[in-house]
Amino acid sequence: MAGMVVVHPEDEKLQVKSLLFWARVEAEQPMRICDDEENWSGQWRRLMSEREDELARLVEDKIKNGRPMTKQEKRYWVRLF
């Protein structure tokens, strides 16, 4: 349990996080796209597809122009496929 820390109720960061959390939970309308339980299953797939398409375009452009991918781009590309 080395990673555990004592949290005091008067901790301002905890209070802010708690207020933000409960605002999302009790909101009548979704505050974030992922809060929409009715549409989220389709939305995240669409968003992932858009990201994959954009990354493929970036890689294709780099290949056409003879520029190597950065380490970050390679790591992201490997995680996708």
Give the pLDDT score at 23. 95
Domain assignment of residue 69, given as a range:
20-80
How distant, in Å, are the alpha carbons of 20, 22, 24, 27, 34 from that of 17? 5, 9, 11, 15, 18
pLDDT, the chain, mean: 84
Lowest mean pLDDT among 10-24, 42-56, 67-81: 67-81
Q: How many domains does the chain have?
A: 1
Inside any domain, residue 58 = yes
Q: What integer is the mean pLDDT of 35-62?
A: 88
Give the pLDDT score at 55. 81
Inside any domain, residue 4 = no
pTM here? 0.53
